[in-house]
Amino acid sequence: MEGIIIRAGVFLAGAILMISSFWMNAYKKITVNFAVIWEILGLMLVLVGIVPVFSQWSRLVSSGTGLAFFCVGSVFLFEEVRTSVLLSQLMMKNRELAMQVSLLNQENEYIMNELDALQKTVENINEKDTVCS
C-alpha cells in the first residue's frame, strides 16, 4: 500500500511540474529552454509513477523512508524550479537591456550624423562669409 502512495505522489508531482512549467512559459515567467527541461522531467516523473517497472523501488522502501525521500525531493524540485524562474527572468531582462542599448546606440549614431551634417553646413557658411569679406 505504501508503494502505491509513493507512486501516486511521484505521478502527482510530475503532473504538477508539467502543468506549472507550461503555465509559466505561457505567461513569460520562464524561458522555453527551461520549460522544455521541466516538461521532460515532469514526463519522466509521471512515467515513474504510472509504469510499475520504473517504480519497482517503491515497494522496497519503508513508508517513513519513502515519505522522507518524497519530501526532500519535493523541496529540492521546488527550489530548482524557483532558481530556473529567477534565471529566466534575469535572462529576459538582460535581452531587454541589450535591445535598449542597441536602440540607444542607433539613436546616438543618427544624432552624430546630424551633428556632422550641421557642422559641415556651419563650416560652409563660415567659408562663404570669409570669402565675401
Q: What percent of the chain has pLDDT over 70?
A: 95
- The per-residue pLDDT for range 37-53, each reduced to its tens digit, is 999 999 999 998 888 88
Report CA-CA distances (Å) from 99 to 14, 94, 110.
Answer: 36, 9, 17
The pLDDT assigned to 128 comes to 80
Please choose, from the candidates 4, 22, 31, 18, the residue with its C-alpha nearest in 3D space to the C-alpha of residue 94: 31
pTM recorded for the entire structure:
0.73
The pLDDT assigned to 44 comes to 93
Q: Label residue 19 by pLDDT band (50, 70, 90).
A: very high
The pLDDT assigned to 2 comes to 65
- The per-residue pLDDT for range 60-93, each reduced to its tens digit, is 777 677 778 888 988 999 999 999 999 999 999 9
